[in-house]
Amino acid sequence: MKFFVDSADVEAIAELNDLGMVDGVTTNPSLILKSGREIIEVTKEICSIVKGPVSAEVVALKAEQMIEEGRKLAEIADNIAIKVPLTWDGLKACKVLTGEGRMVNVTLCFSANQALLAAKAGATFISPFIGRLDDINLDGLDLIADIRTIYDNYGFETEILAASVRAVNHVSEAALIGADIVTAPPAVIRKMAEHPLTEKGLQGFLRDWEKTGQKIL
Protein backbone atom coordinates (compact mmCIF):
# COMPACT_ATOMS: atom_id res chain seq x y z
CA MET A 1 0.00 0.00 0.00
CA LYS A 2 1.16 3.51 -0.81
CA PHE A 3 1.05 6.23 1.85
CA PHE A 4 0.03 9.76 0.96
CA VAL A 5 0.24 12.47 3.61
CA ASP A 6 -2.93 14.53 3.96
CA SER A 7 -1.37 17.84 4.91
CA ALA A 8 0.09 21.15 3.75
CA ASP A 9 2.50 21.22 6.71
CA VAL A 10 5.87 21.22 4.95
CA GLU A 11 7.90 20.31 8.04
CA ALA A 12 5.70 17.32 8.88
CA ILE A 13 5.79 16.13 5.27
CA ALA A 14 9.59 16.44 5.13
CA GLU A 15 10.02 14.47 8.37
CA LEU A 16 7.90 11.57 7.11
CA ASN A 17 9.51 11.73 3.68
CA ASP A 18 12.98 11.33 5.24
CA LEU A 19 11.72 8.10 6.85
CA GLY A 20 10.52 6.76 3.49
CA MET A 21 6.88 6.97 4.57
CA VAL A 22 5.67 9.30 1.81
CA ASP A 23 4.57 8.16 -1.64
CA GLY A 24 2.56 11.30 -2.29
CA VAL A 25 0.64 14.17 -0.70
CA THR A 26 -2.96 15.33 -0.76
CA THR A 27 -4.04 18.89 -0.02
CA ASN A 28 -7.36 20.71 -0.10
CA PRO A 29 -8.56 24.27 0.54
CA SER A 30 -9.02 23.57 4.25
CA LEU A 31 -5.43 22.34 4.60
CA ILE A 32 -4.12 25.32 2.64
CA LEU A 33 -6.02 27.61 5.02
CA LYS A 34 -4.53 25.81 8.00
CA SER A 35 -1.01 26.24 6.59
CA GLY A 36 -1.50 30.01 6.41
CA ARG A 37 0.38 30.13 3.12
CA GLU A 38 -0.39 30.91 -0.52
CA ILE A 39 -1.46 27.81 -2.47
CA ILE A 40 1.06 28.07 -5.31
CA GLU A 41 3.96 28.74 -2.95
CA VAL A 42 3.30 25.94 -0.46
CA THR A 43 2.36 23.41 -3.16
CA LYS A 44 5.56 24.14 -5.07
CA GLU A 45 7.61 23.55 -1.93
CA ILE A 46 5.84 20.27 -1.24
CA CYS A 47 6.47 19.13 -4.82
CA SER A 48 10.18 19.86 -4.37
CA ILE A 49 10.29 17.50 -1.36
CA VAL A 50 8.07 14.66 -2.55
CA LYS A 51 8.70 12.69 -5.74
CA GLY A 52 5.22 11.16 -5.92
CA PRO A 53 1.87 12.77 -6.82
CA VAL A 54 0.87 15.93 -4.98
CA SER A 55 -2.85 16.66 -5.20
CA ALA A 56 -3.82 20.32 -5.57
CA GLU A 57 -7.54 21.08 -5.62
CA VAL A 58 -9.51 23.35 -7.92
CA VAL A 59 -12.16 25.59 -6.36
CA ALA A 60 -14.34 26.38 -9.40
CA LEU A 61 -17.73 24.71 -9.71
CA LYS A 62 -18.13 24.69 -13.50
CA ALA A 63 -16.18 22.37 -15.78
CA GLU A 64 -14.64 25.05 -17.98
CA GLN A 65 -13.24 26.96 -15.01
CA MET A 66 -12.11 23.73 -13.32
CA ILE A 67 -10.13 22.87 -16.43
CA GLU A 68 -8.51 26.31 -16.49
CA GLU A 69 -7.62 26.12 -12.80
CA GLY A 70 -6.35 22.57 -13.23
CA ARG A 71 -4.02 23.60 -16.04
CA LYS A 72 -2.73 26.46 -13.89
CA LEU A 73 -2.06 24.16 -10.95
CA ALA A 74 -0.36 21.64 -13.23
CA GLU A 75 2.21 24.30 -14.10
CA ILE A 76 3.54 24.15 -10.52
CA ALA A 77 5.42 20.87 -11.06
CA ASP A 78 5.39 17.68 -13.10
CA ASN A 79 4.08 15.62 -10.17
CA ILE A 80 0.88 17.62 -9.62
CA ALA A 81 -2.36 15.63 -9.54
CA ILE A 82 -5.31 17.93 -10.18
CA LYS A 83 -8.04 17.37 -7.62
CA VAL A 84 -11.64 17.82 -8.78
CA PRO A 85 -14.92 17.14 -6.94
CA LEU A 86 -17.15 14.24 -7.85
CA THR A 87 -19.84 16.30 -9.53
CA TRP A 88 -21.02 16.12 -13.13
CA ASP A 89 -18.86 19.14 -13.95
CA GLY A 90 -15.97 17.56 -12.08
CA LEU A 91 -16.29 14.44 -14.23
CA LYS A 92 -16.28 16.58 -17.37
CA ALA A 93 -13.12 18.31 -16.19
CA CYS A 94 -11.56 14.95 -15.30
CA LYS A 95 -12.17 13.62 -18.82
CA VAL A 96 -10.53 16.64 -20.44
CA LEU A 97 -7.57 16.86 -18.09
CA THR A 98 -6.75 13.15 -18.17
CA GLY A 99 -7.09 13.33 -21.95
CA GLU A 100 -4.29 15.89 -21.84
CA GLY A 101 -2.10 13.39 -19.98
CA ARG A 102 -2.52 14.93 -16.54
CA MET A 103 -3.07 13.06 -13.27
CA VAL A 104 -6.52 13.68 -11.81
CA ASN A 105 -7.73 12.87 -8.31
CA VAL A 106 -11.54 12.79 -8.12
CA THR A 107 -12.47 13.60 -4.54
CA LEU A 108 -15.52 13.62 -2.23
CA CYS A 109 -16.66 10.16 -3.33
CA PHE A 110 -19.38 8.64 -1.15
CA SER A 111 -20.87 5.87 -3.31
CA ALA A 112 -19.81 3.00 -5.55
CA ASN A 113 -21.82 4.51 -8.41
CA GLN A 114 -19.80 7.72 -8.14
CA ALA A 115 -16.57 5.70 -8.18
CA LEU A 116 -17.70 3.85 -11.28
CA LEU A 117 -18.38 7.13 -13.09
CA ALA A 118 -14.96 8.48 -12.10
CA ALA A 119 -13.22 5.41 -13.48
CA LYS A 120 -15.16 5.71 -16.73
CA ALA A 121 -14.07 9.37 -16.94
CA GLY A 122 -10.44 8.26 -16.70
CA ALA A 123 -9.62 9.31 -13.14
CA THR A 124 -6.11 8.50 -11.98
CA PHE A 125 -7.27 8.33 -8.36
CA ILE A 126 -10.67 8.03 -6.70
CA SER A 127 -10.93 9.36 -3.13
CA PRO A 128 -13.72 7.72 -1.11
CA PHE A 129 -14.12 9.46 2.28
CA ILE A 130 -14.16 6.84 5.04
CA GLY A 131 -14.43 9.07 8.09
CA ARG A 132 -17.26 11.25 6.82
CA LEU A 133 -19.38 8.16 6.12
CA ASP A 134 -18.62 6.86 9.60
CA ASP A 135 -19.81 10.24 10.93
CA ILE A 136 -23.32 9.54 9.62
CA ASN A 137 -23.39 5.94 10.91
CA LEU A 138 -22.40 4.28 7.64
CA ASP A 139 -19.33 2.06 7.36
CA GLY A 140 -16.88 3.87 5.09
CA LEU A 141 -14.80 0.74 4.75
CA ASP A 142 -17.74 -1.03 3.08
CA LEU A 143 -17.47 1.55 0.30
CA ILE A 144 -13.78 0.74 -0.18
CA ALA A 145 -14.67 -2.95 -0.52
CA ASP A 146 -17.45 -2.23 -3.04
CA ILE A 147 -15.19 -0.08 -5.20
CA ARG A 148 -12.41 -2.69 -5.07
CA THR A 149 -14.82 -5.38 -6.31
CA ILE A 150 -16.19 -3.22 -9.13
CA TYR A 151 -12.78 -2.08 -10.33
CA ASP A 152 -11.41 -5.63 -10.25
CA ASN A 153 -14.48 -6.96 -12.08
CA TYR A 154 -13.87 -4.67 -15.05
CA GLY A 155 -10.15 -4.02 -14.98
CA PHE A 156 -10.33 -0.30 -14.22
CA GLU A 157 -6.88 1.19 -13.62
CA THR A 158 -8.10 4.02 -11.39
CA GLU A 159 -6.36 3.71 -8.01
CA ILE A 160 -8.44 3.64 -4.84
CA LEU A 161 -7.18 6.35 -2.49
CA ALA A 162 -8.78 5.85 0.92
CA ALA A 163 -9.33 9.34 2.35
CA SER A 164 -10.86 11.07 5.39
CA VAL A 165 -8.85 8.72 7.59
CA ARG A 166 -9.44 9.42 11.26
CA ALA A 167 -7.80 6.49 13.07
CA VAL A 168 -5.09 3.88 12.63
CA ASN A 169 -7.62 1.06 12.19
CA HIS A 170 -8.84 2.79 9.04
CA VAL A 171 -5.36 2.29 7.56
CA SER A 172 -5.01 -1.41 8.35
CA GLU A 173 -8.60 -2.22 7.34
CA ALA A 174 -8.25 -0.34 4.06
CA ALA A 175 -5.04 -2.26 3.38
CA LEU A 176 -6.75 -5.59 4.08
CA ILE A 177 -9.61 -4.70 1.73
CA GLY A 178 -7.16 -3.78 -1.03
CA ALA A 179 -7.11 0.00 -1.27
CA ASP A 180 -4.15 1.02 -3.41
CA ILE A 181 -3.35 4.12 -1.34
CA VAL A 182 -4.29 5.64 1.98
CA THR A 183 -3.97 9.35 2.67
CA ALA A 184 -3.76 10.27 6.33
CA PRO A 185 -2.73 13.20 8.52
CA PRO A 186 0.84 13.04 9.87
CA ALA A 187 -0.47 12.39 13.40
CA VAL A 188 -2.31 9.24 12.28
CA ILE A 189 0.74 7.90 10.45
CA ARG A 190 2.93 8.46 13.52
CA LYS A 191 0.28 6.83 15.74
CA MET A 192 0.58 3.63 13.71
CA ALA A 193 3.94 2.95 15.40
CA GLU A 194 2.38 2.94 18.87
CA HIS A 195 1.15 -0.06 20.86
CA PRO A 196 0.77 -0.37 24.65
CA LEU A 197 2.50 -3.76 24.68
CA THR A 198 5.48 -2.32 22.80
CA GLU A 199 5.83 0.39 25.45
CA LYS A 200 5.36 -2.10 28.29
CA GLY A 201 7.93 -4.48 26.82
CA LEU A 202 10.44 -1.68 26.31
CA GLN A 203 10.14 -0.52 29.90
CA GLY A 204 10.71 -4.09 31.10
CA PHE A 205 13.84 -4.44 28.99
CA LEU A 206 15.19 -1.13 30.25
CA ARG A 207 14.63 -2.08 33.92
CA ASP A 208 16.47 -5.37 33.43
CA TRP A 209 19.28 -3.65 31.53
CA GLU A 210 19.79 -1.16 34.34
CA LYS A 211 20.23 -4.08 36.76
CA THR A 212 23.11 -5.46 34.69
CA GLY A 213 25.14 -2.32 35.33
CA GLN A 214 26.41 -2.45 31.75
CA LYS A 215 26.76 0.20 29.06
CA ILE A 216 26.93 -0.10 25.29
CA LEU A 217 28.66 3.25 24.81
Residue 63 corresponds to which amino acid? Answer: A
| DSSP run (H or E) holding 25 | strand 24-26
- Structural Rg of the chain based on CA atoms: 20
Give dist(CA 46, CA 49) in Å, integer. 5
Contacts 24+ apart (CB under 8 A), 101-110: 102/70, 102/74, 103/53, 104/70, 105/26, 105/53, 105/55, 105/81, 105/161, 107/28, 107/55, 107/57, 107/83, 107/163, 109/143, 109/147, 110/86, 110/143
The CA–CA distances, whole Å, from 201 to 78, 207, 208, 213 equal 46, 10, 11, 19
Report the greatest alpha carbon distance in the chain.
Answer: 72
Please identify which of the residues 34, 62, 72, 83 carries the catalytic annotation: 83
Residue 203 corresponds to which amino acid? Answer: Q
Active site residue 211: no
Give dist(CA 151, CA 85) in Å, integer. 20
Instruction: Name the residues annotated as catalytic.
Output: 83
